[in-house]
A and B are shown apart, each in its own frame.
Chain A
């Protein structure tokens, strides 16, 4: 430490004056890192060994290494999973709900960001944004309760209004395909405002001269959106689309688990909820681990593939 302080100002700091001085100066940095690294090691790396349970006969009295290998060269539980009707449904539902989320939910924040960008009244814009971010801060348990009371068949506000207008009662949460639609809608409701943040930031990054030039050329509101704003958003859109495609077999737990009910189980059970019910609730640890492993492997493949495609298309990838 003292060598640097005493050195004349013109002299360049010694690049590496031996391991000892370096450690004397910076050992505290490693001390600071010790806790976070221990956290990652314990909670993120240690459980990796437990993935082996997927290939073994789970036995509560033995360690992972001592457990017996499963039949069929260890693939017993993967075979079991795929011959399990509930699991096949869970895969189907995961893909279906994610696809619907993608088709309906992905364009929504883009449209909303374009809309907010067109709003000329500053204060009103801020209020709209604040309100639109609000659902993001609610838990899925709360949202599920809000939906249950709002969409209740007899005394829910929406169905009372529908009946008042002469329509039939809609079983929003009590019939499979209505439930799917409500699920997708609530997903958009929860996330659309929050997801505009990135797009709005990208819009502010667009060169204002482009808009001026477009105005001089006589472009109206829509022309500017299609020829300036959207092209400016393209890189952001592509990156976020890749991320969503990578998650097409990924599954959230909180949302389907909070919104589901017994009547709609055949469309609401996704891989994450299947893992919970078969693993933690029914203690079939090997089966549930196998299912989880299958899901994460497919997810990584999808992410890498989507990334490669994007790079081929000439966009900046993620990795």
Chain B
């Protein structure tokens, strides 16, 4: 189709607005990257704009030599991995039986699950339960209480519905039980939705801090995920260790910036590759949810 001049001008306006959007989205991250690479003195003298001034990697080496940060990064990665695996197992265990059309009691089971989307007992009742279960200050509290999301279960179930029933039926005629069918037919065919949900769960765990804030006291700070550690360091009066403070006041800012980069980069490296899948996942969830 041939476009008129005004149409083409319109296209350019649209492209310009989109570029502006990209700029606004990236600016805060570019800013923090530049600050993490600049020298503390330049930062204090207001000389850092969009390019590192006094380029150095001291902030990064400082973070990597501070055992609190490195441990917290390792710990958060471990909890994220463990939590994601448990969540994926729970989600498939929950979604798969519900696609059987003749599962007895399906209506009641469904209602039992879906109802939890509409109400929640609340923060304090949940806190008191966690306390009674003895999970306070227990690392498992970062994994168990939110390990299964109904919304994600619905996404997975919708995907399972899309797998032809005849595949299941012929496998059953060959004598395969439901568990075999799940393991050897459904899960291998579901890599797109598994990847999407793995991303959702992993991002949720990597970024989460409120559960750790509520359920793990500062005495057990070795169990704190990186986000909570970062929050406490930003908001505590003394901030960075005195040993690091005395070298230069601006160093605190560059170290915070470097920590932000460490806590952000893993996710930024992963999500673009899964774009196709999570778009499909969100759309599926919105239609069925």
Contact = CB atoms under 8 A, between A and B. Distances in A.
A179 B191 CA distance: 43
Interface string A4-45: 110000000000000000100010111011011101101111
Contact of B118 (A160, A272, A285, A300): A300
A297 B251 CA distance: 48
A43 B144 CA distance: 9
B128 A149 contact: no
B127 interface: yes
B209 A139 contact: yes
Contacts of B161: none
A263 interface: no
Contacts of A130: 272, 275
Interface stretch (A92-100, A140-148, A226-234): A140-148
Contact of A124 (B15, B25, B175, B207): B15
B97 A33 contact: yes
A135 B28 CA distance: 10
A314 B179 CA distance: 44
Interface string B86-114: 00001001101100100110000100110
Given A33-B93, A130-B275, A50 B113 contact: no
A35 B35 CA distance: 47
Contact of A275 (B112, B113, B124, B282): B124
Nearest to B6: A220
Contacts of B96: 32
B240 interface: no
A33 B121 contact: no
A154 B27 CA distance: 18
B22 A30 contact: no
Given A36-B93, A276-B214, A50 B125 contact: yes
A189 B272 CA distance: 18
A120 interface: yes
Given A33-B109, A189-B25, A258 B125 contact: no
A45 B94 CA distance: 17
B160 to A, nearest CB: 13
Interface string A47-61: 111110100000000
A237 interface: no
B35 A137 contact: no
B148 A135 contact: no
B283 A201 contact: yes
Given A33-B109, A36-B94, A155-B44, A115 B18 contact: yes
A59 B231 CA distance: 32
A138 B207 contact: yes
B124 A289 contact: yes
Contact of A146 (B22, B31, B97, B203): B31
Interface in A129-165: 129-135, 137-150, 154-155, 157, 160
Given A128-B21, A132-B21, A146 B29 contact: yes
Nearest to A138: B264
B268 A44 contact: no
Interface stretch (B61-69, B77-85, B252-260): B252-260
Given A28-B179, A40-B116, A130-B275, A137 B268 contact: yes
A47 B121 contact: yes
Contact of A40 (B49, B113, B172, B286): B113
Interface string A276-312: 1001100001001100110110001001000000000
A197 B28 contact: no
B120 A44 contact: yes
B118 A4 contact: no
Nearest to B275: A130
A47 B125 contact: yes
Contacts of A106: none
A167 interface: no
A198 interface: yes
B105 to A, nearest CB: 8
A144 B145 CA distance: 26
A112 interface: yes
Given A36-B93, A146-B28, A296-B120, 7 more contacts: A1-B172, A50-B125, A130-B272, A130-B275, A131-B25, A288-B123, A295-B122
17 contacts: A29-B103, A36-B113, A50-B121, A53-B125, A127-B22, A129-B275, A130-B275, A132-B25, A138-B267, A139-B206, A139-B207, A148-B234, A149-B32, A149-B256, A253-B123, A285-B128, A296-B120
Across chains A and B, which 7 residue pairs bring their CB atoms closest together, nearest first? A139-B207, A50-B125, A292-B122, A36-B94, A47-B121, A29-B97, A47-B125
Interface of B: 6-7, 10-11, 14-15, 17-18, 21-22, 24-29, 31-32, 35, 43-44, 46, 48-50, 90, 93-94, 96-97, 100, 103-104, 109, 112-113, 116, 118-129, 133, 144-148, 153, 172-173, 175, 177-179, 182, 203, 206-210, 213-214, 227-228, 230-231, 234-235, 253, 256-257, 260, 263-264, 267-268, 271-272, 275, 279, 282-283, 286
Interface of A: 1, 4-5, 22, 26, 28-30, 32-33, 35-37, 39-40, 42-51, 53, 64, 112, 115-116, 118-121, 124-125, 127-135, 137-150, 154-155, 157, 160, 189, 193-194, 197-198, 201, 220-221, 253-254, 257-258, 261, 272, 275-276, 279-280, 285, 288-289, 292-293, 295-296, 300, 303
